[in-house]
Amino acid sequence: MEVNEQNIYKALELVMDPEIPVLNVLDLGMITSVTFSDKGVHVKMIPTFAACPAVELIRRNIHSVLQDYLHTEIIVEIDKTESWNSNRMTETAKQKLKDFGIAPPKVYNGEDYSEYFLGTTCPHCSSKDTYLRSPFGSTLCRAIHFCKDCGQVFEHFKPLD
Amino acid sequence: MINTTAINALLTAMADDALIQGHRNSEWTGLGPIMEEDIAFSSMAQDKIGHAWALYKIMQEELQGGDPDQFAFLRNEKDYKCCHFVEHPNGEYDFSLMRHFLFDHAEAIRYELLQQSSFQPLQPLAKKLKGEIKYHTLHANAWVSQLCRAGEESHARMQSALNTCFPLALGLFEPGGEAEEILIAEKVYPGEKAIKEIWLDKIYNILSVAGLNLPAEKDAEPVYGGRKGYHSIYLQPLLEEMGAVFRTDPAAIW
């Protein structure tokens, strides 16, 4: 496989988030740059939440998937100049999340978070008659909601500023 | 060139507060009054310990500090700079919630202001942590207002928790003397007093809506000492427990 930008991005599509296995690192907006030097391919990434326990695993996965795909030296580093926010997530990612049963984050535009928890659309029945049960869920990036129409609890990928 | 000793003192205090508060939060894992609260305190524990780690990491990379794990677990008690407020045992749920409310609002303001720090490595981290801590204050606000509306006993207990917590919480803003003056002059941050003033305004508004009386600052005796390494009787036993596994083999790779 030729080592070029297109192929690197194609390979990055294969690196999935261990906690949400339908999303890859590009869907999540975790990759901040891909550059080349005589040492190899440099990939810079950012974690979603500062305390995300999966960061190191994702970093190693990017390394091994790219190495297998491109057979060249890969250097994966954490980008300290940028920080992740939920608006980095692509539209495709939001659709995949919804299909997976997790409500995607709304576009964050600087308001108080409480505004973002009113009427979160239920990923099961699409009702907006829902309420926030807890801003903390099974992983740091998820909140728990309840849908009054279908009577089910659902998770929501939290908007992050 | 910013004074390294002064900035180390500030970062150590912030990180140690987050580490110890994080450990206290984790003590609710499996014991919360309802499962969702178990999850909430456990998630906040994970966030806080992660925030402490990120600050220790900045100290390691930018200020010639040591390995974050070793620094977190192997110091002597007097080298920790956390305030007494976070050292106190969880007590009952009223105390834990009120501490969480007062502590997280102070952190949210601190990080909001640190986004403009002249110490560049702090800027992106402050932005990130501020966004995450908003969920902690959202959680705290919801419970404070809910429990204050839940009948006489509940309201009385929240008021009593506030009275107990307030002098301890003032210890979050213990004056840093000359080092703090340097940081203010260098525009690293606007100083403890400035953060405290914004904090008092912020919590006053929320507490008033909840029907609680914020004790007057002039009548409270702030509990200081932590930033200088003088701690409450609760820290040493906590450090022993917290580092017990780490100390069995500090060089182990997990």
* Residue of B40, B54, B121 with shortest CB distance to A50: B54
Instruction: Specify the pTM.
Output: 0.93
Q: What is the pLDDT of residue A115?
A: 66
State how far the Cα of A131 lies from the Cα of A144, in Å rounded to an integer: 9
Confidence tier at A80 by pLDDT (50, 70, 90) = confident
Q: What is the ipTM of this complex?
A: 0.86
A32-60 residues labelled b (16+ CB within 10 A) or e (exposed): beeeeeeeebebbbbbbbbbbebbeebbe
- pLDDT of A113 over the 80 cut: no
pLDDT one-digit tens code per residue, A11-23: 999 999 998 899 9
Instruction: Confirm whether B180 is domain-assigned.
Output: yes
Q: What is the pLDDT of residue B105?
A: 98
CB contact under 8 A, B139 and A134: yes
Q: Is B113 exposed, middle or buried (0-12, 13-18, 19+ CB in 10 A)?
A: middle
Instruction: Count how many domains chain B has.
Output: 1
Axis crossing angle, helix B192-209 with helix B93-114, rounded to the nearest 10: 130
When mean pLDDT is compared across A42-46, A107-111, B191-195, B227-231, the lowest value belongs to: A107-111
- pLDDT of A36 over the 70 cut: yes
Instruction: Confirm whether B179 is domain-assigned.
Output: yes
Distance from the Cα of A37 to chain B's closest Cα (Å) equals 24
For B55, the closest chain A residue by CA position comes to A50
Instruction: Confirm whether B235 is domain-assigned.
Output: yes
Instruction: Confirm whether B253 is domain-assigned.
Output: no
Axis crossing angle, helix B93-114 with helix B152-170, rounded to the nearest 10: 50
Instruction: Confirm whether B78 is domain-assigned.
Output: yes
Give the mean model confidence (pLDDT) for residues A92-99: 94
Task: Check residue B91 and give left, alpha or beta (phi > 0: left; psi -120 to 50: alpha).
Answer: left
Q: Please report, for the domain that includes residue B216, its CATH number.
A: 1.20.1260.10
- For β-strands A102-103 and A153-157, DSSP reports them as parallel
Instruction: Confirm whether B159 is domain-assigned.
Output: yes
Minimal CA–CA distance to A49: which of B123, B254, B131, B39?
A: B131
**In angstroms, how far is CA A110 from the centroid of its own chain?**
20
Distance from the Cα of B46 to chain A's closest Cα (Å) equals 6
Q: What is the pLDDT of residue B65?
A: 95
Best mutation site among B107, B134, B202 for testing chain A: the one with the most A CBs within 10 Å?
B134
Residue B184: count other Cβ atoms within 10 Å of its Cβ.
17
Inter-residue contact A48 to A84 (CB < 8 Å) = yes
When mean pLDDT is compared across A70-74, A114-118, B206-210, the lowest value belongs to: A114-118
Minimal CA–CA distance to B177: which of B188, B198, B193, B166?
A: B193
CB contact under 8 A, B46 and A53: yes
Distance from the Cα of A94 to chain B's closest Cα (Å) equals 20
- For β-strands A142-147 and A40-45, DSSP reports them as unpaired
- pLDDT per residue, tens digit, chain B (254 aa), is 568 999 999 999 999 999 999 999 999 999 999 999 999 999 999 999 999 999 999 999 999 999 999 999 999 999 999 999 999 999 999 999 999 999 999 999 999 999 999 999 999 999 999 999 999 999 999 999 999 999 999 999 999 999 999 999 999 999 999 999 999 999 999 999 999 999 999 999 999 999 999 999 999 999 999 999 999 999 999 999 999 999 999 989 87
State how far the Cα of B182 lies from the Cα of B10, in Å rounded to an integer: 11
Domain that holds residue B95: 4-248
For B52, the closest chain A residue by CA position comes to A51
